[in-house]
Amino acid sequence: MQKKLIKVNPSDNVAVALVNLKADEVVSFQNEDIRIVSDVKAKHKIALNKFEIGEEIMMYGVLVGKASEAIEKGNVLTTENVKHQSAKVSKKTDTIGWTAPKVDKWKDKTFMGYHREDGQVGTANVWLFFPLVFCENKNIEKLRDIFEKELLTKQSNAHQMLLRSLVNGSEDSDTEVIESTRVFENIDVKFITHPGGCGGIRQDSESLARLLAGYVKNPNVAGATVLSLGCQNLQIDIFNKALEAISPDNKKPVLMYEQQQMGTVDDMLSAIIKNSYAAIKEANEIERKPAPLSKLKVGLECGGSDGFSGISANPTLGYTSDMLVALGGTAILAEFPELCGVEQELVNRCTNETSAKRFLELMQAYEKSVVDAGSGFDMNPSPGNIKDGLITDAMKSAGAAKKGGTSPVVDVLDYGEYITKPGLNLLCTPGNDVESTTAMVGSGANIVLFTTGLGTPTGNPITPVIKVSSNSELATKMSDIIDVDTGDVIKGEKTIEEMAETMLDYIIDVASGTIKSKASLLNQDDFIPWKRGVSL
C-alpha cells in the first residue's frame, strides 16, 4: 500500500502529500493519527504541528519559510499562510565529511566518445556555426537552410503532411513520417543565433565571447565557423583572446569570416560553404573510441519543477552525481537563485576557504542586483511551481539543491568560466532553464541531466540533454520529451540508489550514441546567453 505522507528530513515540521487527501480524513503517520483540516492535493505540504504567526517552517532540514498566519496541525501550507524565509549565512562554519557511494560495478566501464587533442572526450561530434553579433543571424539562418537541405535531407514530416491534406481539401490526413537521410554519419552540423554582441555594455560582449569560446572548447565540438560583421562590440580579437584564455593550445579548426571585409553576401557565403564543407568532411573521419567514465562532465538542471521534484528526480540526480564524482568525473550545479536557503551547507562542503568566500560573494552580488531591479529571490517560484506545491523560493531551492548530492565542492565559478577540476563545481547562472543549460554547456558539460515535474522541452545544440520526470503521470502524458521516469520512487517501488544506478547506465548509453535523448530527437537546440547589463 502506497504511503500517503513523507517527511523528507527528521528535523522537518511539515510533510509532503504523496496522494490527494480529503478534509477530515485521518492519516496514520509516524505512530500518530493526523486529521486533515482541508483538501490537500498531492505534492503539497501539511503542517505536522500547530504554527503561530512568525514560527519557522522547516523542510529538508533547513528554514524554508515563516507562518504569516496561524496554521492548524494537518492543514495545508499555501502562499497565503506561509512567506519565504531563509537562513542568513556569513562564512564557512564547518567542514562536512563525505562518504563516497560504492561504485565498484562501474570502475572498469567505459563509454564510446570522441577523443580531442586536449584530453577531453565528447559525447557528440558537432561542427558549429555561430555569429559574434546579431547582425549576422540572417546569414547563419541562410547557411542552416543550405547545409541542412544538402547534408540532412529532411522529408515531409507528420505536421507538414497534415497541413498539405487540409490545403488540398482532402480528408486523408496521413501523418506518416518519412525518415531523413544523412550524408555524413559521424558529424552533426548545428547553428546558433543570439541577440548579443553589440548595443549593450562592453562587459556583456566580453561575457558572450567567453561563452562562445566555451562552446568551441567543449569536447562535443569538432570545430566551428564564426561570422562577424566588423564594427560590433564583440570584435574577432576579443573572441580570440577569450578562446586563448581557456584553450591556449587550441588545435580545433575555427574558420572566421568578417562581412565588412569580404564584400557581397554571395561572395562571403560561397567562401564559407566551400571551406566549411571541407572541414566538416574531415571532422567526419573522427570516430568513437572507449573512454573512462571520469571523462564525463555532467550538468545538473531542473525546470518546470513540482512538489515531487525534490524527493524523487533531484535526489536521484544527486546520487548519480556522487557516483560520477567517486569515479573521477565532473558534476556542475548551477541556478544560484535556486540555492537560496541552502548556502550554509554548500559553503561547508567547499574544500577551501577561497571557494567558500567566492560562493557567498557571487550569491550576495546576484541577490543585490535582483533587489536593485525591484524584485528578489523570493519571487523565483513560477505560477506552475506554486500550483504544484513549491510555495517559497527556499522550499524550491532546498529541493533543487538535491541535484548536487553530498560530495565536496571543489570549485566555484562565475558565468562563462570553464571547468578545470573534476568533482562537484558550482557555477553562477540564472534559474532560467535555457540560460542555465546554455551556461553549463559553455563551461564544458558534455551531458546535461534535466529534471522536471511539469514538463519542459529544453535542449541544447551541442550537448545531449536527458529529461528526467519526477512522477510517472508526466512520463506517460509527455512521453515524447521524457527519457527517464523516477516516479517509482514516489510509489515506493524503487529507492533513490536504485534509480541512480538506472540513470548512470542510461547516461553511458546516451554518451556512447547508442541512445539519442528525446531533446536531440526533437532537434531542441535552445541557446540563450545571460545578459547581465543594460542596453546602450
> What was the pLDDT predicted at 163?
67
pLDDT tens-place string over residues 315-344? 999 999 999 999 999 999 999 998 988 999
What are φ and ψ of residue 174, in 5° steps? Answer: -60, 120
Q: What is the mean pLDDT of residues 128-147?
A: 97
Task: Indicate the range of 26-40, 107-121, 313-327 predicted with least confidence.
Answer: 26-40
Q: Which three cell numbers stand for residue 512?
A: 556512447
Task: Indicate the range of 29-43, 62-76, 178-192, 502-516 predicted with least confidence.
Answer: 178-192
Q: What is the mean pLDDT of residues 81-108?
A: 92
* Better-scored residue on pLDDT, 308 or 162: 308
Task: Indicate the range of 42-46, 59-63, 329-333, 384-388 predicted with least confidence.
Answer: 384-388
Contacts with 40 (C-beta within 8 Å, 6 or more apart), sequence order = 17, 20, 21, 46, 76
pLDDT at residue 423 greater than cutoff 60 = yes
> What was the pLDDT predicted at 289?
98
Does domain 5-83 fall into CATH 1.10.1370.40? no
Cα 50 from Cα 39, distance rounded (Å): 17
**Closest Cα partner for 113 from 516, 468, 511?**
511
| Residue 77: DSSP 8-state | P
> What was the pLDDT predicted at 152?
73
The secondary element (H helix, E strand) that includes residue 452 is strand 447-452
CA 242, 248, 252, 256 torsion-angle sign: positive
* Better-scored residue on pLDDT, 169 or 414: 414
> What was the pLDDT predicted at 373?
84
Q: Which CATH architecture has domain 126-285?
A: 3-Layer(aba) Sandwich (3.40)
**Closest Cα partner for 521 from 459, 449, 432?**
459
pLDDT at residue 248 greater than cutoff 70 = yes
> What was the pLDDT predicted at 178?
53
Mind giving me the DSSP string for 21-32? Answer: B-TT-EEEETTE
The amino acid sitting at 460 is: N
Q: What is the mean pLDDT of residues 4-12?
A: 92
Q: How far is CA 451 from CA 131, 327, 417, 471, 514, in A?
A: 30, 22, 24, 10, 22
Q: Cβ(441)–Cβ(419) under 8 Å?
A: no
Contacts with 217 (C-beta within 8 Å, 6 or more apart), sequence order = 118, 243, 246, 247, 250, 418, 444
> What was the pLDDT predicted at 393?
83
Q: Average pLDDT over the chain, rounded to whole? A: 93
pLDDT tens-place string over residues 359-416? 999 999 998 988 888 887 767 778 888 887 888 888 888 899 999 999 999 999 999 9
Please name the residue ranges forming H helices in 186-291.
202-217, 236-246, 259-262, 265-283
Domain limits of the chain? 5-83, 126-285, 292-521
> What was the pLDDT predicted at 375?
83
Read off the pTM. Answer: 0.93
**Closest Cα partner for 457 from 477, 435, 493, 482?**
482
Helix (H, G, I), strand (E, B) or coil at 287: coil
Q: Cβ(224)–Cβ(216) under 8 Å?
A: yes
**Closest Cα partner for 247 from 284, 220, 275, 210?**
210
Cα 214 from Cα 442, distance rounded (Å): 4
